[in-house]
Structure 1
């Protein structure tokens, strides 16, 4: 079941990666560094807003779904979580819209088109609940449909040389199609787990979810700001063109992140069912996953540093030559991001989400300070260095200084061992045979 779920997760991400590389290259060449920078600036803003409006529910919903004992519990959790998400999304859209209008800059009003996508992402609640039941294909198929449609439109808009506002609209179309399809399919095929009705809304469950998730909201905010702060600060300190150059590099360096995300997402529900009865076995599984992902990150880093110049030239052209140095630096962030993804799941199981908050805020503070120091002099290169060091502090070194996380620090440290890697590969091959 785990391998099947990994395949479903990877299939969506591989399709997304392949299409994204092609479409991003076309957009970058057509829009130029400045236009491409504006487009990536708004996607960075949306990514940050989505973390806040998610209310920190994502991994908690997977865990709670896996522990549901009755049909009514399933329906109460889904309805309650979705209601809270929709309310938070509408509030965020209203607040940001009023802020944009108050600035009086007519050029910024077009951002509202893309911002409406936040509402439709709320239906991801259904996806995370189904993940707790090891059902991945629904959301995967729906997201692929939305992504393919929006990508086709982007290619068409490049062909007809459309204004950048049409590219903003494709962000809304992608999320709207995926969200509506997830809602329709889940209510018709999986309504035993996901039937939604206000009659199932539970105030005690709402209170419980919010009480546990608030550290995850802030921690998630810190984590996404790690990945997007560089683009926002570059835009403010050096302009749209610098964001375009930087984004060209990070689009490639972050392209393979779907692999650790898919593996952990597929394994997490299974581990949650085991956690109460055999914690040591779960820790062994986490050690194996950590080792595989760390070495995957090292391999990706070495590969990109050998041929990074050629990748940038082939994909984006000579206009983005500066992106190659940024790419070779930023690719190493993957090591620490993988550590954060795996250890974050462990913190959810342990119900120690405040620790996730503390480590994210520590890394974020370092990242911000380094961006302030390095961007004015080194531009995108400085931003890349700040991101890598910030992630290293948050997801690796921080664990050494906190007694409750020291065990996880040693697990991360031993993940660099080739002997642990061999053991992990053998374990994975045995799982496949089973």
Structure 2
């Protein structure tokens, strides 16, 4: 447990620094460039983001699981995953170009979207991070990744302060994927991790691994759609300025989403081990993590609701004041997003991949329908309500559709109802371990 907590703290410390820099850049871009350009930038990033799951192919957590279970064959699974993800990244570029140049009237915008999709394709190498996570060697990549992101964020800051063009800003945004992906590959290679191979991947095994990841791939696509579709639909149904107001609020709300994912990633290996060795410890750890996530999200949501208006004025200025009402609604989606990080791990460990897809499809479908209904009349606030409701459907509502997922619903209810007791016991356990 102490190793997991240490890894969580290291990753959170890194993310605080990097998210802080990214957030500063976003605020400066919004203030200095104005709502129109900030809206266009947000639209391009959101549109390109829809294709990001194709460079992942649903294999991140599956690879972690196999590396934990079969450590001697780690490179076998890493190599297989890289080949699959390369094919997915190439397909993403072709698909983005086909959709963009066929349906968009703005050639320049489409070119920037395709360029960004190509650069974010380097995230195919991010699977190597899951190898180090499974080996509990998180700090190995931290210094390298932190250095590279400090460089790219500094370059972005300089570009924003010097009124850089939209093209340069998108290029610098994409360079993060290129630098980090390349550094992961070369770190893995030069440490001669690839020499620790006992068998060579075959066409049959690659196809088999692809099949295991297909449900998570489709789930990832659906989840990305309901994460990114809001800004795309606002641009189509209203205008770029409304995208800027929504993006300013969403940036503040989504700033926190990475933390539950980081914590869940660090505990994935331990949850997998408990699942096969001790069900009582497995359920206990799940309840502890769920309690932590939900309590943190509720506290965050209430605090943000009270300070939304002065916070927007302070950070973005008077021209973004209508973002405050959007933020007051959007922040409550964090309650469902935070616990979803644990739910996603549970679905993978229990091999309930189809339900991961079902939940994401329901979330995407409800979000699109609600956006069509609410955005034309209410703009960004309507999109915020659509986000909260769709996240509730995807992270909670679908649990009652099947007896298997009702097991998690039971754990969830136990964790919520007994949160004070569970958290108190967790703190006491941590103190005893350290003493």
Q: TM-score range by the shorter chain?
A: over 0.9
- Taking structure 1 as reference, are residues 92 and 401 closer, same or farther at Cα in structure 2, changes over 3 Å only? closer
- Cα deviation, 1:136-185, whole Å, max 9, x if unaligned, reads 22443343233222211121112221211110111121111111111122
Residue 255 (structure 1) shift: 0.8
SS of the residue corresponding to residue 415 of structure 1 reads helix
- Offset from partner CA, 1:24-73 (integer Å, 9 cap, x none): 11111122111111111122123221113311001111111111142xx1
How do residues 141-290 of structure 1 correspond to structure 2 at under 5 angstroms? Answer: 141-189=143-191, 191-192=192-193, 194=194, 200-290=200-290
Unaligned runs of 5+ in 2: none
User: Which residue number corresponds to residue 114 of structure 1?
Assistant: 116
Structure 2 distance, partners of 1:229, 1:253, is 16
1:422 aligns with 2:424: no
Aligned mate of 1:25, from 16, 24, 27: 27
For structure 1, the residue ranges without an aligned partner over 5 or more in a row are none
**Cα distance in 2, alignment partners of residues 397 and 113 from structure 1:** 37
The answer to whether the Cα contact below 8 Å between 1:57 and 1:81 also exists between their aligned partners in 2 is yes
| Alignment TM-score, normalising by the size of structure 1 | 0.94
Alignment of structure 1 residues 257-406 onto 2, 5 Å: 257-406=257-406
Aligned to 2:416, what secondary structure does the other structure show? coil
Count of residues in correspondence between the two structures: 428
What CA distance in whole angstroms lies between the structure 1 residues aligned with 2:400 and 2:180? 41
CA distance in 1, matches of 2:415, 2:45: 33
| Aligned: 1:53 with 2:52 | no
**Partners of 2:219 and 2:358 within 8 A in 1:** yes
1:323: Cα distance to partner? Answer: 0.6
Distance 1:425 1:58, change over 3 A: farther
Residues 63 and 131, structure 2, Cα contact 8 Å, conserved in 1: yes
* Structure 1 residue 324, shift from structure 2 partner: 0.6
By how many angstroms is 1:21 displaced? 2.2
2: CA distance between counterparts of 1:54 and 1:297? 27
CA displacement at 1:339 relative to structure 2: 2.1
1:305, CA displacement in angstroms?
A: 0.8
- Using a 3 Å threshold, how does the CA distance of structure 1 residues 287 and 333 change in structure 2: closer, same or farther? same
What residue in structure 1 maps to residue 132 of structure 2? 130
Q: Distance in 2 between the 1:313 and 1:195 partners?
A: 55
Aligned match of 2:14: 12
TM-score (norm 2): 0.94
Secondary structure of the structure 2 residue equivalent to 1:116: helix
Structure 1 residue 229: deviation in Å?
1.2
Distance of 1:144 and 1:42 partners within structure 2: 25
In structure 2, how many angstroms separate the alpha carbons of the residues matched to 1:104 and 1:237? 15
Give CA-to-partner distance per residue, 1:252-289, whole Å, 9 cap, x none: 11111222112111111122122111123111101110
Q: How far is 1:402 from its partner? A: 1.7
2:431 and 2:375 map into 1 onto residues whose CA distance is: 46
Are the structure 2 counterparts of residues 256 and 277 from structure 1 closer, same or farther at C-alpha, using a change threshold of 3 Å? Answer: same
